[in-house]
Amino acid sequence: MPAVLVCLLIAGLGSMSAADTLLVPKEFTTIQAAVDAAVDGDTIRVSAGVYTGTGGSVVDFGGKAIILESAVAPGDPKPVVDGEGERRCLLLENEEPLGTQIRGFQLTNGLALSGAGAFCGPFTAPVFEDCDFTDNEAITGGAMLVGVQTAVALVDCRFLRNTGNIGGGAIKLTEGAILASDCVFDDNACDQAFEDAGGAIESNGTLLLSGCWFGGIRLEYAPNNFGCSNAITQTGGGIRAVDCRFGRNDPEQPDFTGSYESRTILVCNVEPGQATFRNCSFNGWTTGFNESYLPSTMSVVSATNSEFIECFMSQYSEEATAGVLGDCTVVDSSFQQETFGVALAATSCSIEGSSMIGGNLFNDSCGFICGPDFPSVSAAATQFRNCTISGGTVSAFIQGADLLLENCELRSLRSTWASGINGGNDTCRKSSALDLSGGDSVVRDCLFHRCVTLRGGPAILVREQVSSCLIERCRFIENEVWAPLFFCSGEDPDDELIYGGAAIQVFGSLDVVDSLFQNNRGWSYSTETDDVWPLQGGAAILAGKGSTLTVSGTKICGGNGPNGIVGAFTNKGGNDFFGPCCNADFNFDGVVDGADMAELLGSWGSSCSVAVDEAFCVNGDPPGSCWIPVACRFDVTDPGPYARLSYDLNGDLVVDGEDLTILLSSWGENCAAVF
């Protein structure tokens, strides 16, 4: 779409000087009669009432640049242009120029092959302001069709309950341009849609959106309308969306009245540089889950060659994905999966300053962790910079190959209890933070903090298929692995290697450079007696059979295993495997100072006395599957698996003067010497 058309469209938002004013019904009984009598520049003012017509359209503008506006006061019922289920409401097909404006009408019950509310043909440039498009139906573009080389402005308009049988429930945009500001799209539908038809807007033109809300999409015939459940389908052309909201923010408080049974809110397949979303939220929800839906096709956003800046994507549907992105750029955005499923699936993307949060693993109906162990992020050939991955009662981790992670934080993540008993060596190896499945990856300047998994590397798992991985200047703090007394297919119960790796397990090729492993711990326990004891193997790194591991300039301290590393590795020098830990460096900035004291004082007087095996366990599950209260963490001095309070340095389960004394005794301690 030529840029000049967009410029002309914006210019058309200004008012024209009216040559004359015609009144309906005072001077003309029908709107069409007034249009027939008008000339370019005239204004037609229409009083409240219902206006119908004959023929194919209620009103045909006939190529005139006129203003059609409501005469009613703001807030009073609008004049209604009623197609009566027999004809189109408005027809603009004769190159109606800039200055054609429609203000303050309800356009309803239109019926046509296309554009039943308003048909905007080639080379027209109308402006619609404060108009309601309701209950219109067409084969395509239920409420509006915007044709080739057409520029349409929509200001404060509402599109409700419109139907486009094969696509574009509200609007079909064909190689034209639409500028929509502060508009609402809700409960629009396609009833016989093809794949990826747009339930609200289907476009291959230029779509500019500002401050618009997209609510529910009606699914008239569920077996045939997976694609129609998209709010917007953009295939070709370009799209720019700013401050827009798609779906609901709270599944208990719907913004609109639609069914919300949607597969995808946005499908965007465009050329590079033609799609940008800024400060937009995308919230998906599926009610009445249908097993015929494929998890790979259920996503809130599916996009290629797009840019997302300060956006939020959330999926409430089971076995679904918040964002499926390819060759995209993501900046300062958030992805969240509220139940079983994936927060982000990314291929060849650049992700900067963003956060990913995984889904809830607990299911009250079965009293156990029932769902599959989905990653928060599935990625390939993707770069993550200044990002955070966090969890709670979730399965949250990055899984992929050929990745770059720089200056990222992965905190409080875990894999499920069920993941250790699904059978086979591969399913027994789990990471709650980063699972590298192949290729060449780099992890640099990252923090892995309090990640927990059952039988795997809680911070990083390097699988056999990984040809090379570099871990440089990373910190692994208070991560934990739990190893129950059962074994997966093909494992040797006498092989101590399966008991190692409280931070990292490596079965491929790994180089660890200038990194810190502090207070990482491993536990074995009996599933019959709940007895718990420290791991037999390494407290930090497990080098599995057939792996290649080199370590240089690295410090390993704390932990509860007899060895810092178990398995064969190459010591390239500059390592410290037995030095003391800086436990008072709460913010991990490398020094004990005022910032750490401020954190301790902020938790002053807090206490915790909940043992791990009593904390949020489900139906007697073993301790490794239980959640510890947020305020608590494992005691770094007590060999038993008991919860301890954050900032409780002496392990007495209360933050008080004794802990402050310990912090002051470590004041100025340089904890970053390893780097």
Q: What is the pLDDT of residues 569-625, one digit of tens each?
A: 999 999 988 777 888 888 877 789 999 999 899 888 877 544 443 433 333 333 333
- Residues 605, 550 share a domain: no
Instruction: Tell me how many domains the chain contains.
Output: 3
User: How many Å apart are CA 589 and CA 596, to the nearest integer?
Assistant: 9
- Which pair of tokens denotes residue 349? 């993307």
Q: How confident is the model at residue 199 (pLDDT cuts 50, 70, 90)?
A: confident
Describe the crossing of helices 594-602 and 657-665 by its angle, rounded to 10 degrees: 170
- Residues 577, 658 share a domain: no
Q: State pLDDT tens for residues 504-545.
A: 888 899 999 999 998 887 776 555 555 555 565 556 888 888
- Residues 622, 477 share a domain: no
Whether residue 107 is contained in a domain is answered as yes
Give the end of a domain, one of 192, 216, 250.
250
- Residues 539, 638 share a domain: no
Give the end of a domain, one of 581, 609, 632.
581
Whether residue 43 is contained in a domain is answered as yes
Least confident of 56-65, 165-174, 385-394, 420-429: 420-429
Least confident of 115-124, 271-280, 310-319: 310-319
Is beta strand 217-219 parallel, antiparallel or unpaired with respect to 245-247?
Answer: unpaired
- Residues 606, 475 share a domain: no
Whether residue 296 is contained in a domain is answered as no
Please answer whether residues 248 and 285 qualify as being in contact, where contact means their C-beta atoms are separated by less than 8 angstroms.
yes
Q: How confident is the model at residue 298 (pLDDT cuts 50, 70, 90)?
A: low
Please answer whether residues 132 and 157 qualify as being in contact, where contact means their C-beta atoms are separated by less than 8 angstroms.
yes
- Residues 125, 184 share a domain: yes
Whether residue 303 is contained in a domain is answered as no
- Residues 575, 598 share a domain: no
Q: State pLDDT tens for residues 299-326.
A: 778 888 999 999 988 876 666 677 888 8
Question: Domain span at residue 571?
Answer: 397-581
Whether residue 111 is contained in a domain is answered as yes
- Residues 522, 647 share a domain: no
User: How many Å apart are CA 584 and CA 518, to the nearest integer?
Assistant: 12
Q: State pLDDT tens for residues 329-374.
A: 999 998 877 665 677 888 899 999 988 776 544 333 222 222 344 5
- Residues 129, 205 share a domain: yes
- Residues 182, 102 share a domain: yes
- Which pair of tokens denotes residue 74? 């703001």
Whether residue 347 is contained in a domain is answered as no
Whether residue 376 is contained in a domain is answered as no
Whether residue 437 is contained in a domain is answered as yes
- Residues 118, 233 share a domain: yes
- Is the pLDDT reported for residue 293 higher than 90? no
CA angle 491, 396, 341 (to 5 degrees): 100
- Residues 607, 551 share a domain: no
User: How many Å apart are CA 10 and CA 104, to the nearest integer?
Assistant: 19
Give the end of a domain, one of 581, 608, 635.
581
User: How many Å apart are CA 637 and CA 163, to the nearest integer?
Assistant: 66
